[in-house]
C-alpha cells in the first residue's frame, strides 16, 4: 500500500506533537520536544510561505518535508550568504523557497517516499528559486534523490561536509533547469 500524502500551510498543536516523534527518530539532534520547538519549529511554522507535506501509512505519520520563504535576516540565509561570493548570493538568496527538512522513518525508506514528499512540498510553489542544504557526499541517498529532481550544487554549505543545492521552478526558464 502506498502512503497517503497531504500538504498543509498551517499546523496545530496536535500536528506538532504528531510530527515530533518522527522528526526525533530521523534526526535525533535535539533532546526533547520543547527544545525543538523553542530552537526551530515554532519560528519556522510562523514564516511566510510555510508548507508541510506529510505521509501516513495506515493512519500513522511516517514521513514529512517542510520549508518556507527564505529571506535576508534569517539565520540560514545570512549564514549561507556570508560563505558565498556576493554575486551568487545576490542571484539565489532572498525570496527563495528554503527546503528545511525531509524525514522518513527508517522502516518505510526505500519505497520512493522521500521523492513523493519532495514533489508534494514543492508542487505549485510560486518561488522561482528553491534551495536546500545537504551532505557533500555524492553517494548519499539524499543526494541521489535531489539529483533525480534536477537539484544541483550551487556552493558550500555551513560545514565542510555540506553543500547547498538549488534548482529553479520547472517553468521559471521556459522549461530549462540552468544552474545557476
Active-site residue list: 146
Distance CA 19, CA 83 (A): 32
Distance CA 110, CA 129 (A): 28
What is the length of the chain? 180
Task: Kindly give the residue spans of alpha helices, DSSP state H, lying in the chain.
Answer: 13-27, 33-36, 42-45, 75-83, 86-92, 113-122, 141-148
Give CA separation, 166 vs 23, 93, 158, in Å. Answer: 23, 10, 15
- Strand-by-strand arrangement of the 51-57 sheet: 4-8, 51-57, 60-70, 96-104, 129-135, 162-168, 152-156
Amino acid at each position: 500500500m502506498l502512503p497517503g500524502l497531504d500538504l498543509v500551510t498551517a499546523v496545530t498543536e496536535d500536528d506538532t506533537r504528531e510530527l515530533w516523534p518522527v522528526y526525533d527518530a530521523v534526526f535525533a539532534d535535539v533532546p526533547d520536544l520543547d527544545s525543538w520547538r523553542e530552537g526551530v519549529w515554532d519560528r519556522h511554522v510562523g514564516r511566510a510561505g510555510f508548507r508541510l507535506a506529510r505521509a501516513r501509512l495506515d493512519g500513522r505519520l511516517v514521513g514529512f518535508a517542510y520549508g518556507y520563504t527564505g529571506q535576508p535576516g534569517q539565520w540560514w540565509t545570512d549564514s549561507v550568504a556570508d560563505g558565498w561570493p556576493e554575486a551568487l548570493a545576490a542571484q539565489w538568496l532572498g525570496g527563495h523557497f528554503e527546503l528545511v527538512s525531509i524525514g522518513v522513518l527508517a522502516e518505510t525508506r526505500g519505497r520512493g517516499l522521500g521523492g513523493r514528499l519532495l514533489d508534494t512540498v514543492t508542487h505549485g510553489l510560486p518561488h522561482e528559486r528553491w534551495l536546500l542544504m545537504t551532505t557533500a557526499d555524492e553517494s548519499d541517498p539524499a543526494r541521489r534523490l535531489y539529483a533525480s529532481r534536477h537539484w544541483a550544487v550551487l556552493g558550500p554549505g555551513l560545514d565542510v561536509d555540506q553543500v547547498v543545492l538549488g534548482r529553479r521552478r520547472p517553468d521559471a526558464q521556459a522549461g530549462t533547469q540552468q544552474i545557476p
